[in-house]
Amino acid sequence: MRAKLRMGFAPFLSKLYISTCRTSSLPPSSSSSVIQPWLFIGLGNPGEKYQSTRHNVGFDMIDAFAESQGISLTTHHFKALFGEVVVDGVPVLLAKPQTYINLSGESAGALAAYYKLPLHRVIVAYDDTDLPCGVLRLQPKGGYGRHNGLFIRLKSVIYHFRKNREFGRLRIGIGRPPGQMDPKAFVLQKFNKTGRERIDSAIKEGCDILKMVVTKGLTEAARASNVDQKYKHLVSHDQQL
């Protein structure tokens, strides 16, 4: 049994399985004694050139969550920087696809398939210009969003999830580009001081939200966190951040 688990899951999952069986009244052969992991995926572009840009706040979220748990993402696994941790007894897998953002589905789909995860155990974190800078929105499922860049990005993820949209999303608001500025140029720029402060604060809040997902479930975490975020930064859009 242990050998099979090591082949099918990351090493820490087999250890958790063994520990769970020892403390459970269920026999080791019972599949219900295995705690199903969460998979948190942050979208962004690899390389120093893109660090701290608006497009990489998904990466920032995963890095911050990993740091809050005392780990770093150093393993390359299915085209992603990958890490694993146990949060309140629940295994959590963390991934930053290194395929460039519009091809993120190649990594996300492979990871979900390898660990045999239902998509309601997957959260994808990404930047969103439809939300004011620093505002977060957690959704159990959804579509592509209204703007073309988000359509292209999530199209890849959805395609590699076998066209299934039933996965969680943590949208991280970055505000809209000012005036007639090209959205592609906007998302590849860094924040100004005020924008960076708002994003850093939002990232900390996002870590707490992700922990709530693990402990209370996606639906309850979305209900609680979205109420708190609803009236944050009472402006239509922060165009100069």
19-23, 48-52, 122-126: which has the minimum mean pLDDT?
19-23
- Spatial neighbors of 218 by CB under 8 A, at least 6 apart, are 120, 123, 138, 140, 168
Query: What pLDDT is recorded for position 200?
Result: 98
As a whole number, mean pLDDT of residues 126-136 equals: 94
Annotate the chain with three-state secondary structure: CHHHHHHHCCHHHHHHHHHHHHHCCCCCCCHHHCCCCEEEEECCCCCHHHCCEHHHHHHHHHHHHHHHCCCCCCEEECCEEEEEEEECCEEEEEEEECCCHHHCHHHHHHHHHHCCCCHHHEEEEEEECCCCCCCEEEECCCCCCCCHHHHHHHHHHHHHCCCCCCCEEEEEECCCCCCCCCHHHHHCCECCHHHHHHHHHHHHHHHHHHHHHHHHCHHHHHHHHHHHHCCCCCCCCCCCC
Structure tokens at 229: 């975020």
10-19, 138-147, 153-162, 188-197: which has the minimum mean pLDDT?
10-19
pLDDT band at 234 (very low <50, low <70, confident <90, very high): low
User: CA 58, CA 177: separation in Å to the nearest integer?
Assistant: 18
- With a cut of 80, say whether residue 236 has pLDDT above it: no
Query: What pLDDT is recorded for position 30?
Result: 42
**Cα 110 to chain centroid, rounded:** 15
- With a cut of 70, say whether residue 56 has pLDDT above it: yes
Amino acid type, 239: Q
Q: What is the pLDDT of residues 77-113, one digit of tens each?
A: 999 999 999 999 999 999 999 999 999 999 999 999 9
Q: Is 76 one of the catalytic residues?
A: no
117-121, 141-145, 225-229: which has the minimum mean pLDDT?
141-145
As a whole number, mean pLDDT of residues 128-143 equals: 90
In angstroms, the Cα distances linking 88 to 5, 16, 45, 92, 212 are 21, 12, 31, 10, 10
Q: Which fold has domain 35-236?
A: Rossmann fold (3.40.50)
pLDDT band at 230 (very low <50, low <70, confident <90, very high): confident
Query: Where are the chain's structural domains?
Result: 35-236
Q: What is the pLDDT of residues 179-222, one digit of tens each?
A: 999 999 999 999 999 999 999 999 999 999 999 999 999 999 99
Query: What pLDDT is recorded for position 232?
Result: 75
The sign of the dihedral angle between the CA atoms of 55, 60, 63, 69 is negative
In angstroms, the Cα distances linking 56 to 69, 156, 163, 179 are 20, 17, 24, 22
Query: What pLDDT is recorded for position 141?
Result: 82
In angstroms, the Cα distances linking 131 to 21, 86, 99, 172 are 44, 31, 25, 7
In the chain, the N- to C-terminal Cα span, in Å, equals 53
- With a cut of 90, say whether residue 18 has pLDDT above it: no
- With a cut of 90, say whether residue 228 has pLDDT above it: no
